[in-house]
Chain A
């Protein structure tokens, strides 16, 4: 699959070393992505990496990707200025099962940059708010300065029908909200575990802790969904780079229910 060429329309700083790129294609519309799907983005002359869509799926005009600079390609992406060209292949993968969540109590549990792939699901849920039960966003970050989409949190906090809980691992006394790991917020959320669905996204260790917290709260393993990350190359399940036990993350995921991949999580050899 050949990338189409898009251009950076705007860039916005959304956290330390984290930039959201607003892309527009020169060659007509980029294919719309479902929440939780990703595109392969190319910085020409540097390389190609998988990056989740982070924008509103209802806003067909804008393709947003939120990138943290961790290495050569992500740093080059995060540094692109308006007008720069980006190659886009995708969207790929199976995202969050938003369509199958009607009537459920919903917990979005995000850690660090993991809020970016969850944000499209949140937009979709809010757009159709009446179709769902309780809706809670639980977010954990390293420190107050590391909180992603800080300005947007202010508007989420004011939204009726959305309970927003934020915690940081440590803080100075200028921060007067919650401090502690993200799992400590799960027992505070209002939901009926027998009809709850949890979407979890963040660093893998954080997701394992979060899953334990959710299972302790009585949420069914088949109703806990995680977005997995592994190095990818082809993104269509051919090259085997992102093989994880019996699944290919790019093709069978990146979103999986816990009952499907739980036994493989935390295994060093995978």
Chain B
């Protein structure tokens, strides 16, 4: 297996992916690294990629006027950064900043969407992998909105 294809095979997000699809998907990937403090992307930019983290952590942040950047989630090795590439208008809704040295597989969104459109079985497989991430984030957001721990101020 080529390097990238092997990384894909090893990443939990693609666990159990059919070997043929692994090869197809790896045609849309690139190996990337970010230094601590470097941004993977900024709010409002085109969501033309997403990232499978292989090493390091990424903070997802929203800039709040007067309060600076507020982190609402950190994402670690074995997890995925970015879901906005799935749904039009394909634009990032937050900033993503590397907390450590980050190594990741970057997926070209247009390329992957093209392959999914061409082969709906692959598309369905991708949806089944992304939907749990979206549902988890929705649940987490709900819990954060409820501010369950009780206000201190």
Contact = CB atoms under 8 A, between A and B. Distances in A.
B152 A172 contact: no
A32 interface: no
Given A172-B67, A173-B59, A173-B69, A203 B152 contact: no
Contacts of B69: 172-173
A188 B99 CA distance: 18
Contacts of A9: none
A141 interface: yes
B149 A206 contact: yes
Interface string B129-142: 00000001001100
Contacts of B76: 178, 188
B152 A171 contact: no
A206 B148 CA distance: 7
Given A16-B152, A16-B153, A111-B149, A209 B70 contact: no
Given A172-B67, A172-B69, A205-B143, A111 B152 contact: no
Which interface class (under 10, 10 to 19, 20 to 34, 35 or more) fits A?
A: 20 to 34
Contacts of A206: 143, 148-149
A80 to B, nearest CB: 20
B121 interface: no
A173 B71 contact: yes
B152 A180 contact: no
Contacts of B68: 172-173
B72 interface: yes
A203 B149 contact: yes
Contacts of B151: 142
A169 interface: yes
B134 to A, nearest CB: 14
A179 B59 contact: yes
Residue of B59, B144, B146, B152 with most partner-chain A CB within 10 A: B152
Interface of A: 15-17, 68, 70, 111-113, 140-143, 145-146, 169-173, 175-181, 183-184, 188, 202-203, 205-206, 209
Interface of B: 59, 61, 67-74, 76, 97, 99, 136, 139-140, 143-144, 146-153
Given A112-B149, A173-B68, A202-B149, 12 more contacts: A15-B152, A16-B152, A111-B148, A145-B152, A173-B61, A178-B76, A179-B72, A179-B73, A180-B74, A183-B140, A206-B148, A206-B149
